Amino acid sequence: MTKAAEVLRDMGRAEGEATIVLRVLRRRCGEPAEAVVRRVLAERDAVTMERWLDIALACTNVEEFQRAVLGS
C-alpha cells in the first residue's frame, strides 16, 4: 500500500470513529455544542478517539463530555 493510500485510509477511519463518538454522545446526552462537534471531527488520533468514545459511553451529560474534550 502506498503512503497516500495509507493516509486516505487513516482519514476515513478517523471520520468513522468521529461519527460514532458523536452518535453515542447524541443518543446518551443530547446535542453537543458546535465547538465540540468541530473538535471531534478534526481529531485524527485513534487513541484519542477511543478515549473519547469511552467518555461518551460513560458521561451523563453533554457538559461532562465537553469538559473532557475542550477542557472547559
Percent of the chain with pLDDT over 70: 89
Q: In this predicted structure, which of 11-15, 17-21, 68-72 has the lowest mean pLDDT?
A: 11-15
Give pLDDT tens digits for 28-51: 999 999 999 999 999 988 889 999
Domain locations in the chain as residue ranges: 3-70
Q: Does residue 8 register a pLDDT over 80?
A: no
| The predicted structure's pLDDT at residue 3 | 79
Whether 49 and 17 have beta carbons less than 8 Å apart is answered as yes
Q: Please give the Cα distance from 57 to 11 (Å, whole number).
A: 23
Q: Are the CB atoms for 49 and 21 separated by under 8 Å?
A: yes
Question: Does the predicted TM-score (pTM) go above 0.85?
Answer: no
Q: How far apart are CA 18 and CA 11, in angstroms?
A: 11
Dist. CA 16–CA 43, nearest whole Å: 11
Judge whether 39 and 69 are in contact, CB under 8 Å.
Answer: yes
